[in-house]
Structure 1
Amino acid sequence: MKAIVFKRYGEPEVLQIEEIKKPVPKNNEVLIRIFATSVTAEDPKMRGFNHPPLLKLPVGLMFGFKKPKNPVLGIEFSGTIEAIGKEVKKYKIGDEVFGYTGLSFGAYAEYKCMPENGLIHYIPENLSFEESACMVNGPLSALAYMKKKGNIKQGDKILIYGASGSVGTAAVQLAKYFGAHVTGVCSTKNIELVSSIGADIVIDYTCQDFTQTEEKYDLLFDTVGKTSMKECLKLLRPKGRYLLTEFGFSHILASIFTSLFKSKKVIVASSNFYWKIEDLELFREIAEKGYFKPVIDKTFPLERIIEAHKYVELGHKAGNVAISIK
């Protein structure tokens, strides 16, 4: 089968298309013919071993210091089940599914085996394979932070910084689904996009400092790790929550301290610890009802994966970058 392989860490050019062995499903696994995957913001970091100092040691131990233990990247996918193990009951050959590979990676390929009880589910009937392949990382991250950690509820006022990214576009739509009033912060070119997906107010950070306001929020969600903790805490109502997807040691200390002694909370966590199959079911349901749709910036064929990585590394993508494997 075709796959994108990298045998050393480095620039996008280390990604090469090769023929590798097609996997065979175990008794409890399904074999998925992948039709689409994505390039998340984390993929280039894994490819280049570009991690924050706090993460270099654990990431190196898990995935290799000098070269990658797993040579095929990719964590999100959608496709069709081509074969099933003899113990599989839930799925059948021909089912169209989407899902998340977890730490096994491997979605930059034509085929991937997944356990029947893994993070996979039927794709929404109204979404394409490319859209369905972007239904996990951003959406489930937004859900984990805002609902499971941030306890968002109807009537809350939430500000989302980085509202045009993968997590941000999911967060805006999800916050509206939960009945919140949403202020999105993004660059000039993405104002129309963020407004179109439901934001009540959109702030252009290139010409307005969102912290210079009398407004107070129940949640402030920084999806890109570029806000000032000191300034953001001032914007919170009593018992407000400041949510961070990217954080350093000072944020961890603040999270511990505020959880014990303050009404305003700093919340940091690795969101995928909270992902469950029920979350995929939720997003399938709200997608089919029209409340949610992944935003696709660009779609590249698998053969142009180097170009896709370079584009994502620029840091200006709106929503998601999908990869078509046809």
Structure 2
Amino acid sequence: MKAVVANGYGSPEILEVKEVPKPQIKPTEVLVKTSVASITHADTLMRAGDPWFARLVLGLFKRKHPIIGTGYAGVVVEVGAQRADFEVGDSVFGETTTNFSTNAEYIAVGLNDIIMQMPAQISFEEASTMCDGPVTSLNFLKLIGEVKPGQKVLIVGASGSLGSAAVQIAKNLGAEATGVCSGRNVKYVKSLGADHIINYLEKDFRKLESAYDVIYDTVGAHSFKSCKNALKEGGLYMSPVLSMPLLWASLFNREGRKRAKFAATGMAPKDTIKDLLKSLVKMKQLGKLEILIERRYSMDQIREAHIYVESGRKRGNVVLGVAEC
């Protein structure tokens, strides 16, 4: 089968499309024929091995899983003898977390991976991105930030995968949402329901004193220290982009003070992620969550795809088209 393989760590140039053996599933696994895989900002960081301490999970000197990618949607083509929860022909979506390997024609999905039946109202493209922006942002805003009705939430990177989902989720939670984006994305972010929009090329939100209950920096553009001024007393800065200063600040939060939190949503308990996905599917079915697929690339365009995602200019989501299902 064809797969996207990363030879070590580095720039998009290390990515190659290769012929590799098709997975032979274990009794506890199901084999999925991949229709679409997501291409995320996290994928580009893991390809680069950045930050360096992420290699403790990825493989210090040699990658544990050379085939990249975590989000997927496709069709079950084989079921292990000990799996009774899926049948051949089921349309499914999910995430392989630290097992990666979704940028391939076939994926062996195990008990510790996320796999769910795909609702008819959701496309393969949309489903492949659900475990990126939507799940991450729901986890941060609802479970970590505990956003409440009437609170003021500022979302940095409001036009990206995480940010576009966050604007809609914040509104669904009853918050007043402010999106930070470039001028070219103002109209798009407004269409998502943002109450206020800040064009970061024209205005620095960090100069707004005690303005927000929660600052959700989806792209790690600003440090907690630089955002403190804009937080209300007892306010919270959150980001899924890990840095040593953020990790340090997260470990020494004090009740009643301005706080910082980091979390790796993909490392959350499997049942937690499934519950988040169920909530998001319901939002989608009720018309409260729109998932924009800005670009679709082929396997042969994988380097180009990573360059674009890495540019920080993508709007919504970018996916890898693998096969028709």
Are the counterparts in 1 of residues 159 and 316 from structure 2 also a CA contact under 8 Å?
Answer: yes
Conservation of the 8 A alpha-carbon contact between 1:12 and 1:306: yes
SS in 1 for 2:35: strand
| Residue in 2 that maps onto 1:27 | 27
* Counterpart position of 2:277: 280
1:81: Cα distance to partner? 0.9
Give the Å deviation of 1:137.
1.6
The Cα of 1:135 is off from its aligned counterpart by: 0.7
Match of 2:113 in 1: 118
SS of the aligned residue for 2:103 comes to coil
- TM-score (norm. length: structure 1): 0.91
Say whether residues 1:263 and 2:257 are aligned partners: yes
Does the CA-based 8 Å contact 1:124-1:285 persist in structure 2?
Answer: no
Alpha-carbon separation, structure 1, partners of 2:309 and 2:35: 20
Aligned partner of 1:294 in structure 2 is 291
Q: TM-score, normalised by structure 2?
A: 0.92
Contact 1:169–1:319 (CA under 8 A) maintained in structure 2: yes
Are the aligned partners of 2:168 and 2:288 in contact in 1 as well (CA < 8 Å)? Answer: yes
RMSD: 1.9
Which shows bigger deviation, 268-277 or 172-181?
Answer: 268-277
Alpha-carbon distance, 1:324 to partner: 0.5
> How far off its partner does 1:88 sit?
1.6
Structure 2 counterpart of 1:312, from 309, 312, 315 = 309
Moved over 4 A (4+): none
Residue ranges of structure 2 left out of the alignment (5+ in a row): none
Partners in 1 of 2:36 and 2:109 — Cα distance?
15
Gaps of 5+ in 1: none
Query: What amino acid is the match of 1:311?
Result: Y
Does residue 164 of structure 1 match 2:156?
A: no
Percent of pairs identical after alignment? 38
Quote the residue 1:40 is aligned against.
40
- 8 Å CA contact 1:218, 1:237 repeated in 2: yes
Q: Deviations over 1:255-290 (max 9, x none)?
A: 333x33543222223232335211221212211121
Output the CA distance in 1 between the equivalents of 2:248 and 2:277: 32
Cα shift readout 1:120-160 (whole Å, capped 9, x = no counterpart)? 11223222211111110222211221111111122221111
Indicate the SS of the match to 2:295.
strand
TM alignment of 1:1-326, pairs within 5 A: 1-49=1-49, 51-52=50-51, 56-57=52-53, 59-116=54-111, 118-213=113-208, 216-257=211-252, 259-274=253-268, 275-326=272-323
State the SS of the aligned residue for 2:235: strand
Q: Is the 8 A contact 2:209 2:231 kept in 1?
A: no
Q: Tell me if structure 2 keeps the 8 A contact 1:118–1:277.
A: no
What are the Cα deviations for residues 165-186 of structure 1, in whole angstroms up to 9, with x where unaligned? Answer: 1111111111111111100000
Count of residues in correspondence between the two structures: 320
Partner of 1:183: helix, strand, or coil? strand
Displacement of 1:215 in angstroms is 6.4
Deviation at residue 231 of structure 1 after TM alignment: 4.4
Partner AA of 1:221 in structure 2: Y
Deviation at 1:228, TM superposition (A): 4.4
Moved more, 282-291 or 93-102: 282-291
